[in-house]
Amino acid sequence: MKNLNRDELLNAAKEHLSPVLARSTQIIMEKGAGPYIYTSDGERYLDYCSGIAVNNLGHCHPRLVAAAKKQIDNLIHGSFSLGYYPGAIKLAMKLSEISPGDLSMVFFSNSGAEAVEGALKAARWKTQRPGIIAFRGAFHGRTMGALSVTSSRAGFRENYAPFLPSVFHAPYPYCFRCPYEKSEDNCSLQCLAEIERLFETIIPPGDIASIIFEPVQGEGGYIVPPVKYVQSLRELAGRHKIPLIFDEIQTGFGRTGKMFAAEHFNVTPDIMCLGKAMAGGFPLSAVIGTRDIMGDWTPGAHGTTFGANPVSCAVALSALEVMEEDNVLDNCRKMGSYFKSELMALKKEFPVIGDVRGLGLMLAVELVDDKGKPDKSATEKITGYCLEQKLLFFNCGVYKNCIRFITPLNIDSSVIDEGLKIFRDALKNVT
C-alpha cells in the first residue's frame, strides 16, 4: 500500500474505523521514545498518558524492545492450551514472588477486562454464589461482565442493559465529595455501613460471590480511600467468607510507588486483577489468587487463545528486571512526592483546583467552580490549551472534571517541570 499523508490517513480512518472508540485528539502517532510521542508530521508531544498507565517505563524502552525481538525469533504463538511456555511459567513464579500475601496461582489473559471477567468467574465458581458487590465510580472494563460492575459514567452503560443480575453498587469512599458531609477526622465509615445495610435488606452475605474493589479508583477520579476503610473492608469480607477482588489493573506494577497499591493499606485480597503496565505495551493480563480459589478451578471451566503469549511474557519479565535493577519504585516515590508538592503549590495559587490527590505517580487534580461544584468546562479548556502546547493527558472522574497525570515511572524532575510549566500557563490563561 502506498504511503499516505496525515490528511489521507485521517480521511481513511473516518471511512473505515468505527467511531465508537472515542478519541481525545486527532494526532497520528508514529514513534515513541521515553516520555515523548512523535507524530506522522514530525511534531513531538510530552505524553502524560503513558498509554493509559501502560508504558510505565516509557515508550520503547530498549531492554523491552530487545526482549521482544529475541522472543519473536523463537516462538510467537503456540497456544497455552496446547502445552506450556517457559516464559509464562517463569512469569507466574515471579508474580507469585512479588504479590502480597499468599497470592500464588495465575491465569493469564490479554486485557484488563478479560482479567476482571476471569476473576468474577473464579469467585462464582469457588463460592457457587450469585451476588457481586461493586462500587460507585468504579471502572473495570467494557465487556458485559466487567461493564456490569462498572459505574464511573452512565454513558458507558447506555443501551447495553440488561447486565449481569445480582450486582449491587456500594458507595466508594470519595472523601472530597463525601455524601455524608464528613471529613476523615470525624468519619465513622458510613459508606462501609451501606454494605452491611445491603446484607440486611437486599441480599444476605451468604449469597455474595465476591466484592470487587479498586484500591485507588482510576477512571472514577484517581480517588485514594482512607486506610481504615480498606482494612475494614478486608475484615468485613473475611468475616462473611466473601472473596475480595482487588482490581490493580491501573495501580499495579509500581504506579503508586509500591509494586501493588494493596501494600499501601497492609491488606491482601483473595484475588488480584493485573494488566496494563504488565508487559510494557504488549497485550497481557492476569488473574492471581490464593491456591484455595485458583486451585479449585476445574480444567476447561475458563480458557483463552492468546493468553500467556510468549512475546508478552518475555517483555513482562524484562520489565520487572528493569524495575528492580534501576530502582524504579524508589524513583516513582521520589518523583511522585515532588510532582504532588508542585501540584499542591498550584492549588494554593489557582482556586479552580479543588483537590490534589494520588499515590506515587498516579496523580490527579479535581477542578471546581467558585461554588466548589465540578467544573467540566475548565477541564476541557485546560486540556485543549495543553494539547496546543504539545502536552497530552486524559481527564477522568464521574463529572469529567479531573485531570490525571500518568507519567512514566523512570522520569526525572525535568520531565515533570516541562509539563507543569505548560499546565500552569493553561491555568493562568484559560481559567
Domain boundaries, the chain: 6-60+327-430, 75-325
Residue-wise pLDDT for 11-31, tens only, equals: 999 999 999 999 999 999 999
Residues of the chain with pLDDT under 70: none
Backbone angles phi, psi at 88, to 5 degrees: -70, -40
Cα-based distances in Å from 6 to 17, 29, 47, 391: 15, 10, 20, 20
Give the pLDDT score at 185.
80
Q: Which residues have C-beta within 8 Å of that of residue 325, sequence separation ≥ 6? A: none
- Domain 6-60+327-430, CATH: 3.90.1150.10
pLDDT of residue 414: 98
pLDDT of residue 1: 79
Q: What pLDDT sits at residue 427?
A: 97
Distance of CA 412 to the CA centre of its chain: 22
Q: All 3 cell numbers of residue 63?
A: 531492554
Residue among 31, 2, 16, 241 nearest 131 (CA): 241
Asked if residue 398 lies in contact with residue 220, where contact means CB atoms within 8 angstroms, the answer is yes
Q: Residue 88: helix, strand or coil by DSSP?
A: helix
Helix 376-388, helix 413-430: angle, nearest 10:
120
Distance CA 412, CA 423 (A): 17
Tell me 322's DSSP state: H
**CB-based contact 172:152 (threshold 8 Å):** no
Torsion of CA 242, 184, 347, 251, to 10 degrees: -20
pLDDT for the residue numbered 186: 86
Whole-angstrom Cα distance, residue 149 to residue 152?
10
Helix (H, G, I), strand (E, B) or coil at 201: helix
Q: For 427, list phi and psi in degrees, rounded to 5.
A: -60, -40
Predicted confidence at residue 232, as pLDDT, reads 97
CATH ID of 75-325, from 3.40.640.10, 3.90.1300.10, 3.40.50.1820, 3.40.50.970: 3.40.640.10
Task: Find where cell 499515590 sits.
Answer: 359
Residue 22 has phi, psi (to 5 degrees) of -70, 140
User: Taking the model in full, what pTM does it have?
Assistant: 0.97
- Common-topology check for domains 6-60+327-430 and 75-325: no
